[in-house]
Chain A
Amino acid sequence: MSELETKYLLEIKNLTKHYGESNVNAVEDLSISLKEGEIYGFLGPNGAGKSTTIKSLVGIYPFQHGDILINGVSIKTHPLEAKKNVGYVSDNHAVFERLTGYEYVNHIANLYGVDPKDAEERTNRLLDIFKLRFAFHQPIKSYSHGMKQKISVIGALVHNPKLWVLDEPLTGLDPQSSYQLKKVMKQHAKEGNTVFFSSHILDVVENLCNRCCIIKKGKLQGVYDIKELKARGESLEEIFVSVIGEEDK
């Protein structure tokens, strides 16, 4: 597919965001584009602006300048339309603790207007993959950290979003759960959707993603094609350290 024909599922254009009355930008003039069917890693040190960018693109944060287009629809001007195409897994794994897993997923499916048959099919498939069926009708407050993360993933995928956004999804997951989640991410991208996630684990990004970008202090430091890096014999870790380290010097 030529560059002209490439369809971008997520376009962040000159995003600038600051909190409240602060004159320090948490994100400054950030522009990235994600293609259909790709897994995209979002890297940066703590406080770089990753979560701020993610929360802006899923509609949690308002932003001052720029625009974010999801499947061609602006989150700024047509938020409800844009949100229909997004599934989001938060970094705090907050899910309504007093609901059962079943009630939570059913509620989210209702809010997205998903046909019950489709919701059932997707949920049952994911319950089997994540081996969560035994706890699905139990209150979420009795779940472990990993189980909360899994139910949050099921909730985010119940409407089969074209763009799936995850904020540090692998933090605190055991190796088996981590493996299951990566498998689901790959499968989602394979079906023509886009997966965008932030992480500190460079190995995972290197093995899972098609492309990634690094930001620091809210500014884009570079976009990297993983295949090209591998072809050149460069490691993402070295690049990350050099990019972050150079600025510090």
Chain B
Amino acid sequence: MRNVLLLLKLQLDNQSDLLKTLKPKKMIPSIIKIFALFVLGTLGVGLALARVDMMGFAINRELLSIVLLATQVISIVFATGNIIKTLYMSKDNEMLFCLPVTPNQLFISKLLVIYIKEFAVNAAISIPLYLVLGFFEKSFGASYYLSIIMLLFLLPITPIALGAFLSIPLMLLIRFLRKHTVLSILLVFSLVAACLWAYTSFVATAFTEFDFSGQEQIQTVIDINQKIVWLGSKILVYYQLAGAMLSFSLWYVYPLFILACLGIAVATIFFTRHFFFKAAMSSLEKTIKKRREPEYDTFKKQGVLASLFKKECLCVFRSASDVFEYFLFTILMPVIVFSYDQLLLSIVIDQGGTDMTPGAHLMVVAILAMLSNISSASAISRDGGNFYVSKMVPVGYYSQIFAKFLFNAVFTAAALLATSVVSMFLFPAWQVLLGTVAVIFASIGHIAYSIDTDIKNPTVFNDGDEKSSAVSKSTPKSLIYGLIIGFVMGVFMMITAKMELSFVPYIILIAAAFVFMVYRVYTLVLRINLRYDKIEM
């Protein structure tokens, strides 16, 4: 047991500073931070649900049953990811396997790490949500609040068990997909596109089924309440738990639930233990495939810029996670924009709304274009320990940066052009084209800003094969900056839409975007040599 606890502390300390020292003085800042986040979270949820409460939606046993199920579904997603990351693909496995502990102790300590993480995720979602629901529904008594505490400890068990079982086929799939990058990229994008389709279908169905306009609002609330009562009572296990939350007379459910949880936990440990060792060991192994190699290799001559561009493409496109992160919005841009536009046009009910749709369209296009540019925020950092190559080769820094710039700009521009083609089915061609020109200019400016930020403060101490955005400190900055640009562009077009100025606002927007682009590119070019020289590794 002592070994298990030591292993647990070792792993937790590796991930968080909270328990590194047990001195209260050093723990207090972290505890205050966590508490502040809880307060903010509760206030946020409270504000979001205040409107729902005011509209007259019922907070009852059936709703609690649905909330319990929803939080469990979210927990399953997190737990599955956590299990894959902590059990099978954790970098500390190599070190932990060498320690003088039994494999079972290691396995149990890993499960405890997962339980603690899952507990934290569950607490972060559930506490604010249940407190706010209790605040709005005054009839909830002591049974409700005591149940929250108890459920916080019990609810993570089922998602972990389900996650542990789900992670086995997922790990096999991941291992297969690692060898087939193109297939994995196609699969991920198909999944995202399917989710997007499901979401837009759901919203469209909701708008056809329920009338959200002023006249029929009361009837709509009654309809939704009826649906909740129907659905909530069908979710047997969670309906019983929700009942126990509201009345001490139904607390006999808890011992049964605890027994079920224990059974699930034991079954999980029994079934997944063997797979853990096999999968964790194989993720540490490196193999060279035996192939028939040519006896004499021939080289192809390429220009410096072409070679740099090719290197960028190969390094990014060989990592499914990088492609997903960098090009999710780029590749799906036409689909997202088209779905969004269709949805927007189907729910707009008055002339004012109709006038604003081109602005709303432009906002989404601009935001997606800026999101497509975040790869530039790790342009230098993603080279990691290989960055020294940039400094030792006899190639000017301008050429090297231009290749990185081009790599991003080409794909964003291609996505914007494809998006403009599909948008022409819904909006006048002149509007779409002028909007696209403005977004392209703004996008170039944003790429230049993102690269400039990364050159200023790169992280070049990683091994160059890690998830790129994770190693760059500039990604969040670029993201926020991009969102602001997209938002400002969209709002400008929405405001000017009411003035009936035809193409004049587009010309103003193009001019502003052009000035922004020139300024950002000029700033980047001006500082490349100085900043590049300063990067030491």
Contacts and interface: CB of A to CB of B under 8 A. Distances in A.
Interface of A: 19-20, 55, 58-62, 79-81, 83-84, 86, 88, 90, 92, 94-99, 102-103, 105-113, 115-116, 119-120, 123-124, 127, 133-139, 141-144
A62 B297 contact: no
B393 A112 contact: yes
A215 B287 CA distance: 41
Given A110-B303, A137-B293, 15 more contacts: A60-B388, A61-B536, A83-B393, A96-B383, A97-B464, A97-B465, A98-B318, A102-B297, A103-B311, A103-B314, A133-B297, A141-B465, A142-B286, A143-B288, A144-B286
Nearest to B319: A98
B458 to A, nearest CB: 14
Contacts of A124: 296-297
B311 A116 contact: no
Contact of A111 (B288, B307, B464, B533): B307
B255 to A, nearest CB: 52
Interface in B506-537: 533-534, 536-537
Interface in B391-432: 391-396
B191 interface: no
A78 B478 CA distance: 34
B289 interface: yes
Nearest to A133: B293
| A88, A107, A135, A144: residue with the most chain B Cβ atoms closer than 10 Å | A107
Nearest to B290: A134
A62 B532 CA distance: 10
A141 B426 CA distance: 47
Interface string B283-301: 0001111110101111111
- Measured as residues with beta carbon below 8 angstroms from the partner, the interface class of chain B is 35 or more
B532 to A, nearest CB: 10
Contacts of A61: 536
Interface string B451-469: 0000000000001110000
A163 B119 CA distance: 59
A94 B394 CA distance: 19
| B310, B383, B536: residue with the most chain A Cβ atoms closer than 10 Å | B536
The 8 A-B residue pairs with the shortest CB-CB distance, nearest first, are: A94-B385, A110-B307, A83-B394, A97-B465, A116-B299, A98-B318, A111-B393, A84-B394
Contacts of A96: 311, 315, 383, 386, 389, 464
A118 to B, nearest CB: 9
Nearest to B310: A107
B304 interface: yes
B314 A116 contact: no
Contacts of B301: 110, 115-116
Nearest to A102: B297
B304 A110 contact: yes
B315 A120 contact: no
A86 B536 contact: no
A86 B465 contact: no
18 contacts: A59-B391, A60-B388, A84-B394, A90-B388, A94-B388, A94-B463, A103-B314, A106-B300, A107-B311, A110-B306, A111-B308, A120-B296, A120-B299, A134-B291, A137-B293, A141-B286, A141-B465, A143-B288
Interface string B102-118: 00000000000000000
A206 B291 CA distance: 41
B384 interface: yes
B385 A99 contact: no
A19 B394 contact: no
Contacts of B391: 58-60
Given A19-B536, A60-B388, A84-B394, A99 B311 contact: yes
Nearest to B536: A61
Given A92-B385, A111-B307, A134 B293 contact: yes
A105 B307 CA distance: 11
A60 B536 contact: yes
A20 B131 CA distance: 51
B318 to A, nearest CB: 4
B293 A62 contact: no
Contacts of B286: 141-144
Given A59-B392, A61-B536, A98-B314, A138 B300 contact: no
B395 A123 contact: no
Nearest to A104: B311
Contacts of A109: 299
Contacts of A98: 314-315, 318-319, 465
Contacts of B534: 62
B465 A58 contact: no
A135 B465 CA distance: 19
B384 A112 contact: no
Interface in B306-363: 306-308, 310-311, 314-315, 318-319
A201 to B, nearest CB: 23
A122 to B, nearest CB: 10
Contacts of B385: 92, 94
B427 to A, nearest CB: 40
Given A60-B392, A107-B310, A142-B288, A136 B297 contact: yes
Contact of B298 (A108, A116, A133): A116
Contacts of B395: 80, 111
Nearest to B296: A124
Contact of B297 (A81, A84, A127): A127
Nearest to A103: B314
B502 interface: no
A58 B392 contact: yes
